Structure 1
Amino acid sequence: MAAPVSGPRLCNFSANATRRLGQFQESFLWPVLVAEFLVAVAGNGLALHRFRTREPRPWNPAVVFSAQLAVSNLLYALALLPLAAYLHPPKHWRYGAAACRLERFLFACNLLGGVAFLTCISLHRYLGIVHPFFARGHLRPKHAWAASGAGWALAALLAAPTLGFSGLKLPAGPGECSAARPEACTECQGAADPGLLGAYWAYALALAALGGALPLLLSLAAYGALGRAVLRSPSLGAAEKLRVAALVASGVALYAVSYVPYHVTHVLNVDARRRWLERCPHFSSEEQAVRALELGPFLAYQVMRGVMPLATCIHPLLYMAVAPSLSCCTERRGPGDGRRSHQDLPLSSSANSTSKASA
């Protein structure tokens, strides 16, 4: 039986495994990220322009949350460009350790910020429909700005550990970095030190719970109550109810096909890396080490790294296409109030000036 391998040969095994995994990123991921960067910057930039030029001041809470979401999406898209440049073959980080940590932090912070503001929009719509008198009597733009500040602070707090986990993996061999010599290239990793993978896996689990599962549950509860209230309203026609159903379905679909699968595949990929490193000292050959790679979790995570940014491209469509002019109205009679209470349903997070909260 061959003796366990350690020392320099272990480094060689890691280098060969990294080269095998990096081929998928270099051939598939970077052009997808470039395309998504262009679409997301154009769409969210246009959305912010519409907010600035067409919405009267002060902005109502729906517009405040939507503007914050557009800013978060725009910053997230900007973080895609250096990532795409890094993955362009040969995969090589050229910008130093500080820029590596900053890029990983901004990526995570704006991802979490986007989820936070989507959740705020969901809860605001819920309050406006299910508890309209409370929303009209107590919710003001200053409350939306305060909630937005809390959302940014929470996103930064949850993303802060990436500054410690991320770092550079220096070249394993001499020479100039090239496609023929990937061992001479510098890597920017979310958890560069293999000794940190256990702690990083726990951190990925926490992000999946707080940045994926919890917002999903809150949004599902809010949209479920919103949908029931609207569909039971006798004052809405079938066409209006269908548009509301489309809006609710699109909001839930963003979580179902992007954020949640991204976090799940991230956790599974980190766990697969951790198990491979535990087995690595016992590999007897490079072929055995490469065969032991769990490509399923890795490929699934890489696919989600390409799919998940699509959400930042879809959000502008929700601002300006799916829900604009959704001025559905219900008539409610308050206790002791003989007047009709006309409630504009704040379903739209778009910048369209027709979607206004009732004064």
Structure 2
Amino acid sequence: MEDFYWDYNFTGDFSHYSTDLSHILSDSAPCEPEALEINSYVIVIIYALVSLLSLLGNSLVMLVVLHSRSTCSVTDVYLLNLAIADLLFALTLPFWASSKMNGWTFGTVMCKIISFLKEVNFYSSILLLACISVDRYLAIVHATRTLIQKRHLVKFVCLTVWGISLILSLPMLLFRSIVHLSDSTSVCYEDLGSSTTKWRMVLRLLPQVCGFILPLLIMLFCYGFTLRTLFKAQMGQKHRAMRVIFAVVLVFLLCWLPYNLVLLADTLMRNHWIEETCERRDHIDQALEATEILGFLHSCLNPIIYAFIGQKFRHGLLKIMVTYGMVSKEYLPKEARPSFVGSSSGNTSTTL
């Protein structure tokens, strides 16, 4: 009798699983997957709360930016697009929550679309954060106004970011499908037939390099020199204005870096660059499930950062509420603040 192990661990995303669901083990008994012991109902509740908070928070961010669009800065435009990406992702969470309980029941077309939106959100988020880091680097380190004065260039950059994100996410549209397991559970993940294992390495490494590692290196370079310039020149006001951007980047890394590191370890193991054992496979599968939940949380955190750290965001929101008679004018600060993301100096459009 042949020995097989299932290369499968049921989560809401399935993006890290191989379609080659069984492998013959030559000298060992089958590996029994050890699922992460998190109650499915708890995860569904987490997904529901994240979805609601993300829809509410990012809608408010979009409302505030668009309400002051005549005076919005370059960073405002980037953060508006970031809110749109998170909003789109929040719309997919109910589907992942349902699949957590009942398997994938929405058909192949929705499998492709929902997986596609999830990938687009991830890539567009980190690419937009990289663009913000370059903008801050040019504005503060080189004191240039090129991108700031020509707003149409910023729109072109955002369109380029969305285009790259769509291209990097195309494998989700092309290769995602419904696979029925032996226990009648349906799952949504890549299916490339007998070539799945080989192509999965390509489908993982290229997006990880282009959609995570390179943008991360750009951010580290730009913010490293930006911080050095701020502290060297003792630009206290600019430093305070950068707090929101630094917080946004830090939260993104805290949410998504663990998942990408574990995914890299999983890729190395499946490519036999590190030794594969049953224990290591179980640990990586559990880590993928836990870190993916952490990554999903990211979509609702940026508006919370803006609310607690971004003084101009609070001012913009209060201004809208005063306009529609929701609060009294006495709650509005006397000092007028012209922009959602404000400007800390004449030549820099900085942060919330």
Instruction: Report the Cα offset of residue 127 of structure 1.
Output: 1.7
* Aligned with residue 131 of structure 2, among 110, 120, 126: 120
The equivalent of 2:200 in structure 1 is 200
Asked if the contact 1:168–1:186 (Cα under 8 Å) also holds between the matched residues in 2, the reply is yes
Task: Identify which range, 254-263 or 97-106, moves more after superposition.
Answer: 254-263
Do structure 1's residue 265 and structure 2's residue 242 form an aligned pair?
Answer: no
Asked if the contact 1:61–1:140 (Cα under 8 Å) also holds between the matched residues in 2, the reply is no
The equivalent of 1:313 in structure 2 is 300
The equivalent of 1:340 in structure 2 is none
* Aligned with residue 300 of structure 1, among 277, 287, 305: 287
Question: What does residue range 163-182 of structure 1 map to in structure 2 within 5 Å?
Answer: 163-172=173-182
The equivalent of 1:52 in structure 2 is 66
| Identical pairs, percent | 19
Do structure 1's residue 111 and structure 2's residue 122 form an aligned pair?
Answer: yes
Instruction: Report the Cα offset of residue 67 of structure 1.
Output: 0.8
CA RMSD of aligned residues (A): 3.4
* Aligned with residue 74 of structure 1, among 71, 83, 87: 87
The equivalent of 2:172 in structure 1 is 162
Amino acid at match of 1:108: E
The equivalent of 1:61 in structure 2 is 74
The equivalent of 1:227 in structure 2 is 227
Q: Deviations over 1:156-209 (max 9, x none)?
A: 00010122332111242xxxxxxxxxx122111245756402211222122221
Question: What does residue range 312-351 of structure 1 map to in structure 2 within 5 Å?
Answer: 312-325=299-312, 329=344, 343=346, 345-348=348-351, 350=352
* Aligned with residue 52 of structure 2, among 27, 38, 46: 38
The equivalent of 1:353 in structure 2 is none
Amino acid at match of 1:346: S
Secondary structure at the counterpart of residue 294 of structure 1: helix
Asked if the contact 1:212–1:259 (Cα under 8 Å) also holds between the matched residues in 2, the reply is no
> How far apart, in 1, do the equivalents of 2:33 and 2:186 lie?
12
> How far apart, in 2, do the equivalents of 1:164 and 1:344 lie?
45
Asked if the contact 2:116–2:170 (Cα under 8 Å) also holds between the matched residues in 1, the reply is yes
Question: What does residue range 77-156 of structure 1 map to in structure 2 within 5 Å?
Answer: 77-88=90-101, 90=102, 92-132=103-143, 134-135=144-145, 139-156=149-166
Inter-CA distance 329–149: structure 2 relative to 1 (3 Å threshold): closer
Instruction: Report the Cα offset of residue 261 of structure 1.
Output: 2.3
Inter-CA distance 44–218: structure 2 relative to 1 (3 Å threshold): same
> How far apart, in 2, do the equivalents of 1:128 and 1:71 lie?
25
Q: Deviations over 1:269-293 (max 9, x none)?
A: 3555677xxx9xxxxxxxxx9x567
Count of residues in correspondence between the two structures: 304
Secondary structure at the counterpart of residue 309 of structure 1: helix
Q: TM-score, normalising length from structure 1?
A: 0.73
The equivalent of 2:247 in structure 1 is 250
> How far apart, in 2, do the equivalents of 1:35 and 1:160 lie?
29
Instruction: Report the Cα offset of residue 304 of structure 1.
Output: 1.4
Asked if the contact 2:179–2:186 (Cα under 8 Å) also holds between the matched residues in 1, the reply is yes
Asked if the contact 1:171–1:185 (Cα under 8 Å) also holds between the matched residues in 2, the reply is yes
Q: TM-score, normalising length from structure 2?
A: 0.74
Asked if the contact 1:171–1:186 (Cα under 8 Å) also holds between the matched residues in 2, the reply is yes
Inter-CA distance 17–99: structure 2 relative to 1 (3 Å threshold): farther
Amino acid at match of 2:123: L
Inter-CA distance 94–18: structure 2 relative to 1 (3 Å threshold): farther
Asked if the contact 1:125–1:226 (Cα under 8 Å) also holds between the matched residues in 2, the reply is yes
Q: Which has the larger radius of gyration?
A: 1
> How far apart, in 1, do the equivalents of 2:72 and 2:188 lie?
40
Asked if the contact 2:145–2:348 (Cα under 8 Å) also holds between the matched residues in 1, the reply is no
Amino acid at match of 1:71: I
- The runs of 5 or more residues in structure 2 that have no matched partner are 6-19, 25-29, 313-340
Question: What does residue range 277-288 of structure 1 map to in structure 2 within 5 Å?
Answer: none
The equivalent of 1:177 in structure 2 is none
Q: Deviations over 1:37-72 (max 9, x none)?
A: 11111110110111122x142743222111111101
Inter-CA distance 6–258: structure 2 relative to 1 (3 Å threshold): closer
